[in-house]
Amino acid sequence: MKSVTVIGAGLMGHGIAQVFATAGHAVVLSDPDLGARAAALARVAANLRDEGREPGPVMARISLEAGLEEAVAHADLVIEAVPERLALKQQLFTRMAEAAPGHAILASNTSVIPITRIGEGLAGSARARLLGMHWWNPPHLIPLVELVRTPHTDAAVFEAAFEWLAAIGKLPVKVHHDVPGFIGNRLQHALWREAIGLVEDGVCDAEAIDLVVKNSFGLRLPVLGPMENADLVGLDLTRAVHRYLFPSLRATPQASPLLDRLIDDGHLGMQTGQGLRLWRDGEAEALRRRLAAHLQAPLAAAPRDPHTWEGGCQC
Helix axes 206-214, 184-200, angle to 10 degrees: 140
In this structure, the answer to whether residues 142 and 271 fall within a common structural domain is no
User: Rounded distance, CA 188 to CA 212, Å?
Assistant: 16
Closest CA to 166 of 179, 147, 152, 151: 147
Task: For residue 136, tell me if it sits in a domain.
Answer: yes
In this structure, the answer to whether residues 76 and 217 fall within a common structural domain is no
Task: For residue 231, tell me if it sits in a domain.
Answer: yes
Q: How many domains does the chain have?
A: 2
* Boundary residue ending a domain (137, 152, 175): 175
Query: What's the CATH number where 157 sits?
Result: 3.40.50.720
Low-confidence ranges of the chain (pLDDT < 50): 303-315
* Boundary residue ending a domain (175, 207, 237): 175
Query: 3-state SS of 182-210?
Result: CCHHHHHHHHHHHHHHHHHCCCCCHHHHH
The active-site residue, picked from 14, 134, 140, 152, is 134
Domain span including residue 293? 190-300
Most distant CA pair in the chain, distance: 59
Task: For residue 182, tell me if it sits in a domain.
Answer: no
45 CB neighbour count, 10 Å cutoff: 16
In this structure, the answer to whether residues 34 and 132 fall within a common structural domain is yes
CB neighbour list of residue 200: distance below 8 Å, 6 or more residues apart? 256, 257, 258
The active-site residue, picked from 3, 30, 109, 111, is 111
**pLDDT given for residue 297 in this prediction:** 83
In this structure, the answer to whether residues 116 and 167 fall within a common structural domain is yes
Q: Is 146 among the residues known to form the active site?
A: yes
Task: For residue 276, tell me if it sits in a domain.
Answer: yes
Query: What's the CATH number where 236 sits?
Result: 1.10.1040.10
Task: For residue 64, tell me if it sits in a domain.
Answer: yes
**pLDDT given for residue 298 in this prediction:** 77
Q: Is 111 among the residues known to form the active site?
A: yes
Task: For residue 312, tell me if it sits in a domain.
Answer: no
Task: For residue 310, tell me if it sits in a domain.
Answer: no
Q: Which residues of 235-262 are buried (b: 16+ CB within 10 A; e: fewer)?
A: eeeeeeeeeeeeeeeeeeeeebeebeeb
The active-site residue, picked from 185, 189, 200, 267, is 185
pTM: 0.90
Q: Is 74 among the residues known to form the active site?
A: no
Question: DSSP readout, 86-129?
Answer: HHHHHHHHHHHHHHS-TT-EEEE--SSS-HHHHTTTS-HHHHTT
* Boundary residue ending a domain (175, 206, 234): 175
**pLDDT given for residue 313 in this prediction:** 33
In this structure, the answer to whether residues 207 and 125 fall within a common structural domain is no
Q: Is 215 among the residues known to form the active site?
A: no
- Helical H segments across the chain, by residue range: 13-22, 34-50, 55-59, 68-72, 86-99, 115-118, 124-127, 155-167, 184-200, 206-214, 217-220, 226-233, 235-245, 257-264, 283-301
Task: For residue 309, tell me if it sits in a domain.
Answer: no
In this structure, the answer to whether residues 216 and 123 fall within a common structural domain is no
In this structure, the answer to whether residues 237 and 152 fall within a common structural domain is no
In this structure, the answer to whether residues 161 and 205 fall within a common structural domain is no
In this structure, the answer to whether residues 81 and 108 fall within a common structural domain is yes
In this structure, the answer to whether residues 20 and 139 fall within a common structural domain is yes
In this structure, the answer to whether residues 131 and 268 fall within a common structural domain is no
**pLDDT given for residue 296 in this prediction:** 87
In this structure, the answer to whether residues 132 and 271 fall within a common structural domain is no
